[in-house]
Structure 1
């Protein structure tokens, strides 16, 4: 009987230690948001640094998060650092090129207590459903600091990190279409950006996962408002954004997820017959080497910047 009680006590102790360790990290109260929506970030600081009180909380704002407004906190001074974004974003129909890049609260929080620090922000279309956005946090104490700045690599479990940055997962907006299954492929969140009047090209973006054991390849598609659809790649070379067609299609390896997104691989809708308008849903197809043609529905979202939604950096288009 004593042996049984001892084993139970050990299990309970191990569970308590694990729970304590998990709760010791700096986290957000709500770790989920939707694209192009206002998010209330409640950052939880559960302890000090090795028993020392917390004197400063510094939060770095990642690229693609805009309209940041921190909430003043009684007993703490509040400072922000502003800077220029890597590209222009759209906010209420107006281009926004700069904003808050860092928030600093300065005060005192005893190690025996817990507190929350609040700010408001907006996630742009730089982040699509399924992505996790990380906010590096530095917690400065009387003697040392805690650096909550580690970000997992692709495929790495965030729980394996010693000092992970708190993250917010981007979820599908309410009413968004369900994922499409086509053979071994899962197709999620097809979307496009609204285009200004007179624009002749548009962009198409989508997330594709191959759950099978054989590779497949995205080789084309159709989009009724455009004469043709091409697969392109954008990459920064010598401070010039170069765009070129992807010859032979885009491979989706077994077990891999490929995301077509602004600034990387994407579909180009060529010779548009009419502008793409925010709020539209437009049916089209994606064509795969093995899965064949798959019907999808693109959700059109507000323009995210200049040049018809493309990045505002200098761009060179190669054919």
Structure 2
């Protein structure tokens, strides 16, 4: 079966309205072309009361470089295959990759909730206004439900028995051009959100992680969540929290994403909430700027430019305009 990559705006909007009807939905339902997408498949219940024992996600054509996140207690497998055509990437043209990801062997009771995570890159195969669909197969102690139905143009996902989770493709927000403002001081507007003063600490040679910081203001009426970030030098970027436990500083990922409530400004800073860029392929150098992205549950993928401060810096360089609220 071929899964269409281009769909009308009406179909995209109907899909976004459908999660309450489905067992399998995606936490982030908007993204931009040529960006890294963090797919979080949310499983809210099993199949007719039976526990979920397996989950398979199909990676559609036009989505490349898919990588699954291992899950404790579950066996992870992938199926690789050829793409319909080569796609450009950071490492040159790629013509094959992961086409299917499966987690099996665990047990998620019907009355419990869990998430299955993967990372992939969305190409420009789907134009803004279209939708990329990720068919999901849910296995439950012998029962199987295939969440792979795709709305026809003009059709509502509410009319489908087993709708496939999807991601609406939106145009990327325009990043501030070079030289338009001092490094780290530019504010990026993305829907109801304003991102201010994104910066990263420089790293010594050989370091595999780097911390990122910024502030986000929500002027809308609905909450949003910051779920991930990316820079070219890192394999992945997550939201983490630093906290003290009996006098010991401990760091842990914010699994569901950092909530930005309506009317609230959230500050990511050293010693608190922050971005953690992992598996670096090279040093982050003080004085540089790095183009990257932030991914929000509602606002989608937002391009930003990170200023790079000194190793161990508590704030960006003077003139960065970073404020603590």
Task: State TM-score, norm by structure 2.
Answer: 0.47
Structure holding more helix per residue: 1
Higher CA-based Rg: 1
Higher RCO by CA contacts (8 Å cutoff, separation 6 or greater): 2
Task: State TM-score, norm by structure 1.
Answer: 0.48
